[in-house]
Every structure is written in structure tokens, then in C-alpha cells.
Chain A
Amino acid sequence: MSKIFNRRNNQRIAKVLIWAAAFAVILVMLAIIIYVLGKGLPVVNLNFLTQQPSDAGRAGGISSAIVGTLLVTFVAILVATPLGVGTAFYLTEYARESTVTRIIRFSAECLAGVPSIVYGLFGFIVFVIFLKLGWSVLSGGLTLAIMVLPTIIRTTEEAIRAVPKIYREVSFSLGGSRWQTITRAVVPSALPGITTGIILSIGRCVGETAAVILTAGSSLRMPTSLLSPTRTMAVHFYILAREGISIDIAYGTAALLIISVLIIDIVANILVRVFVAKVR
């Protein structure tokens, strides 16, 4: 008798706890988002987006940080995507499975997990000082490229492997070359996964601070070339908030950052759905 009583109660308690957990997660998310957006969105207006910072960042807008973020991310993705996708395709489609490929795969897996600060340290020594690129868009972009390269290799590889073997076999049996098979049978199916990986990396670049602050620098000026030092929005937020220069602008920057990442996520979801629909 008491056993059934216990079971039903356990069931109820468990249900309450589980609902509470889900509720708690939503609550935390709302707490953070509402706080930051609440304090930050009022600051974001056309001036904020188009004016450069003045008075060491206490006044003005954050246009140079926005441009800095775009440039650094663009360089990073421009370099890392062909390298990463090409490597993934070579490893899965061309190279024979061997110890070497397994080591490469494991290394990519590990390097994807290495803390970004280590990449920052590496980028600082190699790009800023040794290659004399100084604090620049290029130093920051190349550092971020190496940082996201393992992730792009991994996600592309997984996307390629997820394509059923039968697609390739049918293509070969119809007389297609390896290249034709790849472009016509494999790529369309793997595209959603590959895109997700790239978008994920864009998100990482936009939000990255540790690796960028010492490689791209923290200059407030609008970057004029690849060798100009620049600030990204994440770095700008960090400096403003920490040094107490302007809490309002800091919140505005944070709000813009969160919105940017949200937009990137939504675009990613739409793209994935478009690609998946195309394959069907």
C-alpha cells in the first residue's frame, strides 16, 4: 500500500522539480536579457550607431567598434571557411582513413576546445610582435581564424558524414566523377550543417574578447585599413564596463551585441531551413 503511495508522490515531486528547473532557466534568461536590453536599448539610436566615440569613449557613439567587429569577423571567416571546409572535404572524401587522419581529427577536436585566451596569447606573440603586424584588424582576424578553424573543420566533417552513402554510390554508378559527386550529391545535403558551423563561428567571433583585445588592440578610432588597430564591440563593452568610463554606453554596446547574435541565430535558422527545403 505504502509503496504505491511513494511511487505516486515521487512522480509528483519529480514533476514539480522538473517544471521548476525549466522555469528557472527561463527566469534566468529573462533576468539577463531584460536587464541588459532594458538598460541598453534606450541608448541605441541612430547617433549611437553612426557616431564615433569621443572623450575616450565617454560620449558619442560606437560606430568604430561596430566597423571593427565587422572587419575582424570578416577576415576571420574569409580565411577560416575555405581552409576549414576544404580540409574537411579532403579528409572525408579524398584521403583514406588512417592513423594520420584520425590524429588530425582528434587534434581538431581538441583545438576546438582550447580556451580562446591561449589563441590570444599565440596571436599576440606571432602576429602582433613577431610578424610585426602590430595591433591590427589583420592580427585579430587571423587569430580568430585559427581559433574557429577547428570548429569549422569538425562541423563540416560531421555534416558531410551525415550524408547517406547511397547518394554517393548512386552518383558514381551513374558515371559521375568524384568532383561531380561532391558538388551535386554531397554538398547540397551537407550544406545546412556546414552553414550552421560557419554561423556558429561568426557568433563566436562577434562575442570574443580575450583573443581580440591583445591582437586587434583597443584603439577607439575608425579602422582605415587591415593594419589599423581597432576595437570590437565586445572589447569596447569590456573596457567601458570595467574602467567605469561610461556604464550607459556599455549597456548600449551589450544590447547591440546581444541583438546581433540573435539576428545571426535567426538568419542561421532561416538559411538552414532554406537549404533543407532545397534538398527535399
Chain B
Amino acid sequence: MQLNKVDVVNVQGGGSSAGIKSVETGTANIGMSSRELTPDEQGLTVIPIAIDGIALILHPSNPLQNLSLAQIRDIYTGKIKNWDSVGGPNWQIHLVTREEGSGTRSAFSDLVMSGSQIYPGAIVQDSNGAVRQVIAGDKAAIGYISLGLVDNEVKALNIDGITPSKDTILNHDYKFWRRFLFLVKGQETPPEKQFIDFVLSSDGQALLSREGLVPISAVSGGTSSP
């Protein structure tokens, strides 16, 4: 962000729960989360900045292109253990998931698992990039990552026939997405407001779009909740 350099913005990584917690404790001025706040995380101002699809990804050499939601759920509960049960090759399925505090995982749980537990024997990685790395290296693996992070090392699955993309998210065909939130505690200080305003401006939103996200300004209704 070389456009206006008034104050310094330091960025710290970590999952959604870490982002929420650091704003609550005052360790960070602005927290970021890719999941909604839980009932006992109230008291923060929620500012949506983008929405992002969750893509189920496979290795490019996995011949499958489409799976139903029910099939994906059965794979992730561990009920289906081999790709040939869903029309794929005779390979044992290698499940990859995010860690428990991840916003991506929590969105995945809500949208796909609907209450069922993710198989405890699944491989856990602590970032979307790491999940993508695992899938890119293992032809029998399946994982879920932010749609914005899908590159040509992995391929995104169609779910119930719908291809994930910015368009199918915006016209509500692809239902697997979550909001990216900025969280602030109390009143925004001027530097915080300046940064947030920048992100919500057309320049900022264009940057988000370039990174593969769906900017909140493109969503009809603006701040609609999932």
C-alpha cells in the first residue's frame, strides 16, 4: 500500500480466533476475522470488507470435477474413505483440514458439515497456504481453502454442479462463502479510521479484488449477513 503513507501499519498473522482475541485484549488495534463472532465475543464493532468463497480443492491429476454436498460431508466425516466410492480412482482419501480456531474451518463446518464432526484422523494444517501445499503434492488429498488462494497447483471442485467463482458467489448460486471482517474495540482512532476508510474505498476494494476476494462493495445490499 504505497498510496498514502501517513502512519505505519503493522500486520500480524494468525487465524481468525487469534485476530478476534488480539483486538479484545488490546494487543492489536484492528483485528481480522473470516468468521462471525460467537455469542461470547460481543462488544466489538464489526466492519465487513469483503466476502470470500470457500473452495474444495483437489490435486490436478484427480479426475473428479464435481461432488455433491452430501458426498463432501461424508468424505469429511470419514464415512467415505476411498475415492472410488464417489466415482474416482482407487486411492485412499487423504483428508486435510484447518485447525480449530480457523475462520475458514468454522465457515466450512457451518456451511458443509452442518453439525457433524470432522474426522479426527484428518491432517491439520495451520494456514490456507499450507493446506494448498499439501493438496498440491498429494494426488489423493482433498482440502478446503479460500477461493482467492486457488492457483494452478490445485483445482477447485464444483459442488452440486456449481463452479466456484466471484460471479457464482455474487448471484448466490455458489453458497459457500463467508465475510471477511475488520473488528475494532470501542471508538475508532483517527489512524484506524483512515486505514479502514482506505480499505473500503474503491482503491482499497480494487486491491482486495486483485487478491482474489469479492470486495464488499460488489455485494448487493452491502453488508448482508450470510
Contacts and interface: CB of A to CB of B under 8 A. Distances in A.
A217 B12 contact: yes
Contact of A129 (B10, B25, B129): B25
A243 B12 contact: no
A122 to B, nearest CB: 16
Nearest to A223: B10
B13 A135 contact: no
A239 B130 CA distance: 10
A219 B12 contact: yes
Contact of A244 (B8, B26, B132): B132
Given A242-B133, A244-B133, A129 B27 contact: yes
B97 to A, nearest CB: 16
A213 to B, nearest CB: 8
Interface in B34-67: none
A218 interface: yes
B79 to A, nearest CB: 30
B55 to A, nearest CB: 15
A245 B12 contact: no
A229 interface: yes
Given A128-B27, A129-B27, A132-B26, A242 B129 contact: yes
A239 B27 CA distance: 21
A239 B26 CA distance: 24
Contact of B129 (A132, A134, A217, A245): A245
B10 A243 contact: no
Interface in B90-130: 126-130
B6 interface: no
B27 A243 contact: no
B11 A243 contact: no
A168 interface: no
A128 B8 CA distance: 19
Given A243-B127, A243-B128, A243-B130, A218 B26 contact: no
Contacts of A134: 27
A244 B129 contact: yes
Interface string B120-158: 000000111110110000000000000000000000000
Contacts of A244: 129-130, 132-133
Interface residues of A, number: 17
A134 B128 CA distance: 26
Nearest to A242: B130
A134 B130 CA distance: 27
Contacts of A161: none
B65 to A, nearest CB: 24
B10 A219 contact: yes
Contacts of A132: 26
Contacts of A128: 27
A243 to B, nearest CB: 3
A41 B130 CA distance: 24
Contacts of A219: 10-12
B18 to A, nearest CB: 9
A243 B126 CA distance: 9
Given A243-B129, A244-B129, A229 B10 contact: yes
B16 to A, nearest CB: 16
B10 A242 contact: no
Nearest to A130: B25
A128 B18 CA distance: 13
A218 B133 CA distance: 21
19 contacts: A128-B27, A134-B27, A135-B10, A135-B12, A135-B27, A217-B12, A219-B10, A220-B11, A221-B10, A228-B10, A229-B12, A239-B13, A242-B126, A242-B127, A242-B129, A242-B133, A243-B127, A243-B128, A244-B129
Interface of A: 128-129, 132, 134-135, 217-221, 228-229, 239, 242-245
Kindly list the 4 A-B residue pairs having the minimum CB-CB distance in the complex, ordered from nearest: A243-B129, A219-B10, A244-B129, A242-B130
Given A218-B11, A220-B11, A242-B127, 20 more contacts: A128-B27, A129-B25, A129-B27, A135-B10, A135-B12, A217-B10, A217-B12, A218-B12, A219-B11, A221-B8, A221-B10, A229-B10, A229-B12, A242-B129, A242-B133, A243-B127, A243-B129, A244-B129, A244-B130, A245-B129
